[in-house]
C-alpha cells in the first residue's frame, strides 16, 4: 500500500497537466487588486467541482475548508494571492495576457494554481490525514492596505482558528525543482512616502525673491539619507528611496510647489516607526530653514514578514522528506515586501519559495517585469509541497 507521501506525489504528477492549464487560464485573464471578480468566480467554480465547501470574504477572497479525520485535532492554513499587476506583457506565448496593461508578472497565477491543486489532492485523500486545512485565496496583495489585512479584519483566522499558516512565492533566482526557506526575518515592511514642498515661486532670474521649492526638495532628498546612514543600526537592514520629483514646467520659472514620492523599508518594527518620526522632522525642518513649508504623508503599508523558527524547522524537515535535502536551499533575506506579514503578526507563519527558473531555456526574467515567465514543471512541485504541508504540518 502506498504511503501518504507517495500518494500525494503520484496525484501531483497525474494532475499537474490540468493545473498547468489552470495556471495558463489565470495568466491569460489577469485582474488588478480588489478587482478580481472573474478570478474569484473561477476559483469558486474549481472548488465546487472538487466538492470543497467555501465562502467569499472581502468581496473577491475565497476561503475553503477541507476536513480530514478528527478535524478538530489541528487546523493549518494555506494561502495564495490572486491579483495581478498593471504591466503590459511582452511574452509571445499562447497564454499571453488578454487584458491590455494587466499581467500576472509576480506569479500569483502560479500560487493560485498550486493551491487549487493541493486542495484537490487533500480533499481526495482526506481520509488519510488528520485535522483541517483552511484554504485562503487572497485578493489585493499588490496594493495597500493589502488583502491580508482585510481578510483578518473579517475573521479569516477564526472559525476554525488555524494554529499556523503557510504561503509560497515563485523565485526566479532558483531553478525549477527546488524550494527555499528561511527562519526569522525574511522580507521588509513597506511604507509609501509623500512630500509636498510649498513656497513662493517666481522668476528664475530673481531667486532672492522666492522660496525655491526645487532647491528645498533637492535638499530634502539628500538630508533624508541621514535617516539610514546616521540613525539606523548598521546591522539592521533598511532602505529609504525617493523615486519621484514632480514640479515646474519650464526653464525660467521657480514653481510654487514640488512633490516627492518614495518608499521606506525596514526589518525591525520598532525602528520602522521611529524612522517615520525622523523622516517627518527632517523634511519639515529643512523646509522651514529655507523659507518653505513641507507637508508629509506616510502611508503605512505591510509589516515585515517573520517566519516562526519552530514552524520553519517543521517545514524544512517536511520538505527534505518530500524532495530530498539536496533540493532544499536557504532563502536570502529581501527588502521587498509581502502582505503575508499581516498573518505572521497574528499566528505562526512560514513563507517559502518555489523555484521556477530554467537557465538553459532562458527562463530567468524577474518578477514585476514584462517578460516574467516560469518553467511550468515547477507547478507539480508547488502542488505537492502545499498538499504535504497541509496533510502533515502540526504546530
Q: Which of 142, 329, 376, 380 is catalytic?
A: 376
The grid coordinates of residue 276 equal: 517615520
Peptide bond into 135 cis (omega under 30): no
For residues 217 and 208, give the distance between their C-alpha atoms in angstroms, rounded to a whole number. Answer: 17
For residues 198 and 202, give the distance between their C-alpha atoms in angstroms, rounded to a whole number. Answer: 13
The grid coordinates of residue 264 equal: 521606506
For residues 125 and 12, give the distance between their C-alpha atoms in angstroms, rounded to a whole number. Answer: 12
Helix spans in the chain (H): 4-28, 37-50, 108-124, 147-153, 213-223, 225-229, 269-289, 309-323, 340-346, 378-392
Q: Which of 302, 306, 342, 343 is catalytic?
A: 302
Beta bridge partners of 260: 195, 245
For residues 86 and 106, give the distance between their C-alpha atoms in angstroms, rounded to a whole number. Answer: 11
Torsion over CA: 159, 161, 162, 168 (sign) = positive
For residues 175 and 157, give the distance between their C-alpha atoms in angstroms, rounded to a whole number. Answer: 33
| Residue 105 DSSP symbol | -
Question: Is the Cβ–Cβ distance between 225 and 232 less than 8 Å?
Answer: no
15 is catalytic: no
Q: Which residue has the cell 487533500?
A: 122
Question: Is the Cβ–Cβ distance between 275 and 313 less than 8 Å?
Answer: no
Q: At a CB cut-off of 8 Å and minimum separation 6, what does 159 contact?
A: none
- Scored b (16 or more CB within 10 A) or e, 246-274 reads ebbeeeeebbbbbebebbbbbbbeebbee
194 is catalytic: no
β-pairing, 164-175 vs 202-203, is unpaired
Residues belonging to the active site: 302, 376
Amino acid at each position: 500500500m502506498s504511503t501518504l507521501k507517495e500518494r500525494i506525489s503520484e496525484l501531483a504528477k497525474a494532475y499537474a497537466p490540468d493545473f498547468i492549464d489552470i495556471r495558463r487560464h489565470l495568466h491569460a485573464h489577469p485582474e488588478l487588486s480588489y478587482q478580481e471578480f472573474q478570478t474569484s468566480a473561477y476559483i469558486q467554480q474549481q472548488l465546487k467541482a472538487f466538492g470543497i465547501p467555501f465562502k467569499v470574504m472581502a468581496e473577491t477572497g475565497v476561503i475553503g475548508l477541507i476536513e480530514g479525520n478528527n478535524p478538530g485535532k489541528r487546523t493549518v492554513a494555506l494561502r495564495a494571492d490572486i491579483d495581478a499587476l498593471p504591466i503590459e506583457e511582452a511574452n509571445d506565448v499562447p497564454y499571453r495576457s488578454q487584458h491590455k496593461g494587466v499581467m500576472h508578472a509576480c506569479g500569483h497565477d502560479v500560487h493560485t494554481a498550486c493551491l487549487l491543486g493541493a486542495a484537490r489532492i487533500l480533499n481526495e485523500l482526506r481520509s488519510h490525514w488528520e485535522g483541517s486545512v483552511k484554504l485562503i485565496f487572497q485578493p489585493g496583495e499588490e496594493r495597500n492596505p493589502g488583502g491580508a489585512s482585510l481578510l483578518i479584519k473579517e475573521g479569516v483566522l477564526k472559525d476554525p482558528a488555524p494554529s499556523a499558516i503557510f504561503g509560497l512565492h515563485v523565485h526566479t533566482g532558483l531553478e525549477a525543482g527546488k524550494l527555499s526557506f528561511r527562519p526569522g526575518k525574511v522580507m521588509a515592511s513597506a511604507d509609501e512616502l509623500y512630500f509636498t514642498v510649498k513656497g513662493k515661486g517666481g522668476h528664475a532670474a530673481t531667486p532672492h525673491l522666492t522660496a525655491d521649492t526645487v532647491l528645498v526638495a533637492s535638499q530634502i532628498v539628500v538630508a533624508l539619507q541621514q535617516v539610514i546612514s546616521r540613525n539606523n543600526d548598521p546591522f539592521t537592514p533598511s532602505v529609504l528611496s525617493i523615486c519621484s520629483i514632480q514640479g515646474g514646467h519650464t526653464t525660467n520659472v521657480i514653481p510654487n510647489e514640488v512633490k516627492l514620492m518614495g518608499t521606506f523599508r525596514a526589518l525591525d518594527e520598532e525602528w520602522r516607526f521611529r524612522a517615520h518620526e525622523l523622516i517627518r522632522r527632517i523634511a519639515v525642518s529643512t523646509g522651514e530653514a529655507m523659507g518653505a513649508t513641507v507637508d508629509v504623508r506616510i502611508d503605512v503599508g505591510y509589516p515585515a514578514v517573520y517566519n516562526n523558527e519552530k514552524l520553519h524547522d517543521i517545514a524544512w524537515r517536511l520538505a527534505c522528506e518530500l524532495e530530498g535535502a539536496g533540493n532544499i536551499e536557504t532563502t536570502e533575506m529581501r527588502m521587498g515586501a509581502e502582505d503575508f506579514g499581516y498573518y505572521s503578526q497574528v499566528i505562526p507563519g512560514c513563507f517559502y519559495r518555489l523555484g521556477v527558473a530554467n537557465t538553459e531555456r532562458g527562463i530567468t526574467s524577474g518578477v514585476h517585469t514584462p517578460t516574467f515567465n516560469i518553467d511550468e514543471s515547477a507547478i507539480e512541485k508547488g502542488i505537492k509541497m502545499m498538499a504535504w504541508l497541509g496533510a502533515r504540518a502540526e504546530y
